Chain A
């Protein structure tokens, strides 16, 4: 070894020694800054009660003007009021921001009384002006979701004084009468959104419009408001200093976004989060069932999966804008065939095999979780049971017989297309595993009744186009209807059929029944709630008997939470509902959630290697690099 080399080696070791000393010095300091959620003021953070929940879903927007996904609502519920709320117990109507409504005798003018004791989180009082402004903002900008509930209002909503708003409708309606919580419109702060409309977003966002505004930080009137959010990562809500209601037991609500349910489940097990929302996969949900200090809930939510049958895109009556289009199989225009298909599908088996028993077999288009009293359920003779033999007899009796002995029935001689085999295109969604998993069962059952299907998995986008064009026979999809039955029942009226193969609309089964349409209008205008429900029940019965949709199952919302950190969840509905009370204005759950014991609600500590070890690793890498460089140079010198 030459003198120069020895010198360099010496320098290297001196450097390494210096770094190692630095490591030791850093040790004490480093431990102070790691392992806790707060880099500074760690003690302060430890005392802070933080409820952390997570999911593998992504928000569409934190601004009610633009958001449209179920997850978004969980960030509006702790901060914005609805005029009328859904009761936590059973979804019945409950006064909230409004304390009453006066309905004109012709049921066309509505005057709401607004509370006068509320203050926004920036200290500005909430008045009827905010309510009128918000409803007009939604209405005049066609805000995707909120606009839906305002379509019957004629002209603007007017604030007649600080505590009253008034509006009129063209037709008499029950939907705004206070009987049901139909107005699913979160009330926003006028003083913020008025500025936003002028292009002055509080955070300087550019472009700034009422729809593009990210609403972070937000100004809310509930116990919490959004203080911070990082798209795709987290949302942090903190206490509203002007909140005068019952004092919450938590200081912050933190939402963490995961990309997959495995990671979500691991985070719950490790105590990184207190609540896992929408676990989606039943097998992952099952894996949490036996974990200590974890409770699981397969909650009921308003959601249904349906087997869509093309009842006549190419054959239905041309009313309104609708023009016959597409090439749906003519056999499906016959209610007998659709009923036979319903009889050949065993929803209970699908629930057991596809959902491991966590879903509920489906019947009506109004799910078990809906406005109190709105749902109709078949009983006794009305129930269409799984009955392969019965389905075969039904088809046989209607003239659908297998004339050539190939196992597939043909259409009767007096039908639209005599002799055409019952061979159907059956689409499932490549992005929804449950639709794929159900297909082999349904295909086999249909084969048992002499119907052949060709199953094809396509993307959601593609299936939307296919249905819109009417170029399908059968398809498996799902809907997330409103609590009030009006929206879901509106998907089956003649005018809701996609009119021309290019323009989208909601009646994807192309069901059209003038009698049903008339009942739809009647239920909208009926002020007596019991009478309205009678009509709504009858409509559901018609849909069940005519089967444009075979409702396969009502999927659950799979959730799990730690029992050793927080208590005080408020399932909605009370029996087997979502513990986070998924439908509300200011949800009671955010006031009732509290730590199980002192300290159990503290933010989970950050796991990982302490700073001191990281510095040692960095020093080690540096030493290795130095040694390599020196050795290379030595080789070079020896080469000369």
Chain B
């Protein structure tokens, strides 16, 4: 067991080191000059200001020099200053967006996993029933549905108010802009802003959990040990919750932990529709502007999150399923 743990941790560390180096070069091979992107189309676009902008962005240094600076800064957790946000420290920019991202995507992931698993369990348990047919259709639909489209519909219905739908919730943002709300008032304000994006994300995510859980449970229910339990006279509910569900959860675990790893990546389309200040949209902007320091920091965070989530999943898996350890 110890060897298994050491092996997995070493793998994670090596991956992380690779990402650290890869991050620097990946964005620099993208076409285009960041200084030109900043100024193109404005009256400030001329060779003199371009040269100045390159100097301001630190792009006038030779590449090896830039790499050494990057490595040193990153190892001391200083990610530099953003290009397109006019020199704001990357750490501050990300810190301002990380909580809204985790709050929205994290809660939606948990809620969708919980609801999706329950739907999948009941659908798989009562295979062919009206509930199963209905829930299967619903989950397939929401799984295939574009989040963007659903988000716009929900926004128009519940923020703008269309026909019978009342205009109940704010149109977007994390909280009321420039308000003086504090304490409970602020919490309620954030919750009200979060309702619609949370709802859309939860609905959009739950399909995958429901479908995997249902299929996994159906497989397990056909296994010999379930027949044995029935032959021994174990009650149906006991068979479901004590024997079938724990075993069927194993493949779902991988998906849940992968999703947790991706929480930090945000939800680009939902952040876009509901003007939610998250890391997803920040990433899009950073790519648009070829903002190397911001991109490097964001991709490092995303990579660390996924690597850690995978490591945790591997470790948990080995506890839950002894066959993994043995292998």
Contacts and interface: CB of A to CB of B under 8 A. Distances in A.
Contacts of A464: 32-33, 36-37, 40
A614 B55 CA distance: 52
A231 interface: yes
Given A144-B39, A608-B169, A207 B87 contact: yes
Given A142-B52, A267-B172, A635 B46 contact: no
Contacts of B191: 608-609, 614
19 contacts: A39-B181, A67-B86, A68-B44, A144-B39, A228-B178, A235-B178, A252-B178, A263-B275, A265-B160, A270-B167, A272-B170, A464-B33, A464-B36, A477-B41, A504-B40, A504-B45, A504-B47, A606-B179, A639-B238
Interface of B: 31-33, 36-50, 52-53, 56, 81, 84-89, 93, 96-97, 152, 155-156, 159-161, 167-174, 176-186, 188-189, 191-193, 195, 235, 237-238, 241-242, 271-277, 281-282, 285, 290
Contacts of B271: 259
B319 to A, nearest CB: 20
A154 interface: no
Nearest to B271: A259
Contact of B159 (A39, A266, A461): A266
Contacts, number: 237
Interface stretch (A29-37, A165-173, A511-519, A581-589): A29-37
B180 A41 contact: yes
A211 B55 CA distance: 12
Nearest to A72: B86
Chain A contact residues (Cβ within 8 angstroms of B): what range? 35 or more
A290 interface: no
Contacts of A61: 85-86
A231 B37 contact: no
A348 to B, nearest CB: 25
A144 B188 contact: no
Which of the listed residues A142, A144, A147, A459 has the most CB atoms from chain B within 10 Å of its own CB?
A144
A579 B186 CA distance: 34
B167 A608 contact: no
Contact of B177 (A145, A254, A638): A254
B32 A462 contact: yes
A606 B189 contact: yes
Given A39-B186, A145-B44, A614-B188, A266 B285 contact: no
A37 B176 contact: yes
Contact of B170 (A462, A603, A606): A606
B185 A34 contact: yes
B44 to A, nearest CB: 4
Given A40-B180, A145-B43, A635 B237 contact: yes
Which of the listed residues B33, B49, B174, B184 has the most CB atoms from chain A within 10 Å of its own CB?
B184
Nearest to A462: B31
B180 A45 contact: yes
A260 interface: yes
B181 A38 contact: yes
B147 to A, nearest CB: 13
Interface string A251-287: 0101111111011111101101000000000000000
Nearest to B235: A638
Contact of A461 (B37, B46, B174): B37
Given A270-B161, A461-B32, A462-B32, A259 B180 contact: no
A504 B285 contact: no
Given A148-B44, A231-B93, 19 more contacts: A33-B184, A38-B181, A144-B38, A211-B86, A236-B178, A258-B171, A259-B271, A259-B275, A264-B171, A269-B160, A461-B31, A461-B32, A465-B31, A482-B43, A504-B33, A607-B167, A609-B168, A611-B185, A638-B238
